[in-house]
Chains A and B, each alone.
Chain A
């Protein structure tokens, strides 16, 4: 007759349960999501392509590209893609200047010839190609350009993407355009994120008439065709008087443009965050925070907002491409980024402008269009991957 094991004592039983709980390892939402994302090939390829594109955009001033704005209508108008080399000619210019300085040094200081030479040298410094080749380089791009000149000298990648109507190099314009298109995607998304999350979180947490009013307002905004308002405001901003006022405050039209786009893309984000906050605000951890005397703002931004980050990221993956596309739209219409600034939308527009029955100049559209489409394509794929990875409900689909 088999003898059953002694029924375990209560203590042993609890110890066993404790051990069991100990053996189960919790995996954080993010680690789990990352693991799932890594398995998604399309998303990973997109991620690496995007990182490459962003890196190239950041390092554009360092790359041996031609000038994006230097015009040479006479010799280089609408050249097809080619391998013929092109030199910046800075070295020659500098040598010439150095020669003049040397010549001036031979003269007695103060005499007429010396003065004449020195003014010429000064004039040459004034219209040094660096100032012509790059549009008003700022403190970030200037050192990179200097480094580029140091590394590569006069060498430039030939116009393998062809040249445009004014003889400018399309390759370098596509690269420089990426900086503004991507910056727009980044800044405008950040703006929309800040507005949307705060608005939604506050609305959801306050509840009652505040929530009601705030959401009614969002409803109203949903029915406003914002692109028309933006076009309106952009045309307002481009009037010379307004531009002067802005310049006094050192605000470029393009900065206002970025903020404007961000300021109209927060509606869905606000709605989603509100919904999440409403479902979270009755959870125990909020009660717990209240009992230790957290203020309302602390509860909203320290306790609730971090808990909605998952869904916020899901919506970010939708906002970024939408914002980049919107910028391209407006720039294409001539209502966004303005020369001498460059963006992909603007480049496509320039391409469309030169389409004629006689000749199509396909390179004017193909490369900028492809850069834009590839970026948006990769963003979409990555977005899909992130959404699947973060939304376990759909993970087996």
Chain B
């Protein structure tokens, strides 16, 4: 019940957020002088009129706004401005699974590597493991993923020829980009886990757990890990936003036909229906993920009340 009200409330806020994003970007788009049809080619009056009718650009701006809004509510983003044979929905449906696969793989990689090394570092504090893991974590955080990607391409693709340079579809083709995508987040998660774990291990209830005669393993995994997870979980929200940003860049470097590539293309080409569609999809995605994170937080920490 509590969860349901929480989800309903969140849904309400999501509608508001999406509406704000929609409105701001709609008017930004319409502010572009000349409009999106002023390409390199000069269009004849007739063609122009036809195109304007097709994109509903001949109506007054308020009418355009409400028509577009209504279409968006029905999840119809309309035809693409530049890729004229496709609708935005088709392009997104094609790109989304690709980006999602890349993002999920990167995130899974980041969480497993990050948490494991974080826990080991905290438990074996000041050991060689600790120092080398934390050094690697800081390196992972510091090196922007496109620099990492460029270096790895030079090493693994061209010199060692272990992976193909670019493209999509093969498992071989996903490993490098997913690694580059996940690396900075693995670093953050490792450090958050370590700090969180150290803080938790200093708590009185950990001493209680030892005083009960539990083994160090049980104390760390059962009594420690939950508390140490909290900072990691609250970091996942920003991390997901970061994964979206990161995949923009990596899709470009590795020539992966995901949403990010489409969005950049759309922005450069002024393909506003496509850009709008991608933007709204990203907003909903981010909002949904943040909600999931809050939900997870309240499950892990029973003291937290959902609002």
Residue of B nearest to A233 (CB): B28
Q: Does A386 belong to the interface (CB within 8 Å)?
A: no
Q: Does B151 belong to the interface (CB within 8 Å)?
A: yes
Instruction: Indicate if the CB atoms of B139 and A231 lie closer than 8 Å.
Output: no
Within residues 174 to 208 of chain B, which ones have a CB less than 8 A from any CB in chain A? 195, 198-199, 202
Bound form: Cα–Cα A236–B32 in Å: 7
Which residues from A are CB-within-8-Å of B268? 235, 334
Instruction: Indicate if the CB atoms of B279 and A229 lie closer than 8 Å.
Output: yes
Instruction: Indicate if the CB atoms of B263 and A397 lie closer than 8 Å.
Output: no
Which residues from A are CB-within-8-Å of B146? 328-329, 332, 345, 348-349, 352
Bound form: Cα–Cα A397–B125 in Å: 9
Given A232-B25, A377-B139, the answer on whether A325 and B144 have CB atoms closer than 8 Å is: yes
Instruction: Indicate if the CB atoms of B33 and A328 lie closer than 8 Å.
Output: no
Q: Does B237 belong to the interface (CB within 8 Å)?
A: yes
What sequence of 0s and 1s flags, for each residue 171-213 of chain A, a beta carbon within 8 Å of any chain B beta carbon?
0000000000000000000000000000000000000000000
B29 to chain A, nearest CB (A): 8
Instruction: Indicate if the CB atoms of B21 and A355 lie closer than 8 Å.
Output: no
Given A239-B32, A380-B138, the answer on whether A369 and B244 have CB atoms closer than 8 Å is: no
Which residues from A are CB-within-8-Å of B21? 224, 229
A295 to chain B, nearest CB (A): 33
Which residues from B are CB-within-8-Å of A222? 237, 290
Bound form: Cα–Cα A223–B275 in Å: 17
Q: Does B213 belong to the interface (CB within 8 Å)?
A: no
Among B222-230, B247-255, B298-306, the one that faces the other chain is: B247-255
Q: Does A357 belong to the interface (CB within 8 Å)?
A: yes
What sequence of 0s and 1s flags, for each residue 273-301 of chain B, a beta carbon within 8 Å of any chain A beta carbon?
00100110011001100100000000000
B298 to chain A, nearest CB (A): 16
Partner pick for B264 among A223, A224, A231, A362, CB 8 A cutoff: A231
Bound form: Cα–Cα A227–B158 in Å: 31
Residue of B nearest to A334 (CB): B268
Q: Does B72 belong to the interface (CB within 8 Å)?
A: no
Bound form: Cα–Cα A216–B12 in Å: 12
Q: Does B215 belong to the interface (CB within 8 Å)?
A: no
Instruction: Indicate if the CB atoms of A220 and B16 lie closer than 8 Å.
Output: yes
Partner pick for B279 among A223, A228, A357, CB 8 A cutoff: A228
Instruction: Indicate if the CB atoms of A333 and B248 lie closer than 8 Å.
Output: yes
Bound form: Cα–Cα A351–B283 in Å: 32
Partner pick for A228 among B142, B159, B278, CB 8 A cutoff: B278
Given A229-B25, A233-B28, A241-B33, the answer on whether A372 and B245 have CB atoms closer than 8 Å is: no
Partner pick for A376 among B144, B263, B279, CB 8 A cutoff: B144
Within residues 141 to 155 of chain B, which ones have a CB less than 8 A from any CB in chain A? 141-144, 146-147, 150-151, 153-154
Instruction: Indicate if the CB atoms of B150 and A351 lie closer than 8 Å.
Output: yes
Partner pick for B17 among A224, A376, A377, A394, CB 8 A cutoff: A224
What sequence of 0s and 1s flags, for each residue 330-359 of chain A, a beta carbon within 8 Å of any chain B beta carbon?
001111000000000100110110010100
Bound form: Cα–Cα A321–B287 in Å: 25
Instruction: Indicate if the CB atoms of B153 and A355 lie closer than 8 Å.
Output: yes
Bound form: Cα–Cα A357–B31 in Å: 43
Q: Does B270 belong to the interface (CB within 8 Å)?
A: yes
Q: Does B241 belong to the interface (CB within 8 Å)?
A: yes
Which residues from B are CB-within-8-Å of A325? 144
Instruction: Indicate if the CB atoms of B20 and A220 lie closer than 8 Å.
Output: yes
Bound form: Cα–Cα A397–B159 in Å: 42
Which residues from B are CB-within-8-Å of A225? 241, 244-245, 279, 282-283, 286
A292 to chain B, nearest CB (A): 38
B220 to chain A, nearest CB (A): 16
Choose among A325, A357, A365 the residue with the greatest number of B CB atoms under 10 Å from its CB: A325
Partner pick for A235 among B267, B283, B290, CB 8 A cutoff: B267
B163 to chain A, nearest CB (A): 13
Q: Does A373 belong to the interface (CB within 8 Å)?
A: yes
Q: Does B57 belong to the interface (CB within 8 Å)?
A: no
Instruction: Indicate if the CB atoms of B286 and A224 lie closer than 8 Å.
Output: yes
Residue of B nearest to A216 (CB): B13
Instruction: Indicate if the CB atoms of A227 and B286 lie closer than 8 Å.
Output: no
Bound form: Cα–Cα A232–B252 in Å: 17
Which residues from B are CB-within-8-Å of A357? 158, 165
Residue of B nearest to A358 (CB): B158
A267 to chain B, nearest CB (A): 10
Bound form: Cα–Cα A384–B24 in Å: 38
A397 to chain B, nearest CB (A): 5
Question: Nearest 6 pairs between A and B by C-beta?
Answer: A377-B142, A369-B147, A223-B287, A376-B142, A241-B33, A225-B282
* B residues at A contact (CB < 8 Å): 13-14, 16-17, 20-21, 24-25, 28, 31-34, 138-139, 141-144, 146-147, 150-151, 153-154, 158-159, 165, 195, 198-199, 202, 237, 241, 244-245, 248-249, 252-253, 263-264, 267-268, 270, 275, 278-279, 282-283, 286-287, 290
Given contacts A232-B279, A333-B248, 14 further A-B contacts (CB under 8 A): A223-B290, A225-B244, A228-B279, A321-B142, A334-B268, A345-B144, A348-B146, A348-B150, A360-B159, A365-B154, A372-B147, A373-B143, A384-B138, A397-B198
* A residues at B contact (CB < 8 Å): 216, 219-220, 222-225, 227-229, 231-236, 239, 241-242, 321, 325, 328-329, 332-335, 345, 348-349, 351-352, 355, 357, 360, 362, 365-366, 369, 372-373, 376-377, 379-381, 384, 394, 397
A-B contacts, 8 of them at CB < 8 A, read A219-B13, A222-B237, A225-B282, A231-B267, A232-B275, A236-B32, A372-B144, A397-B198
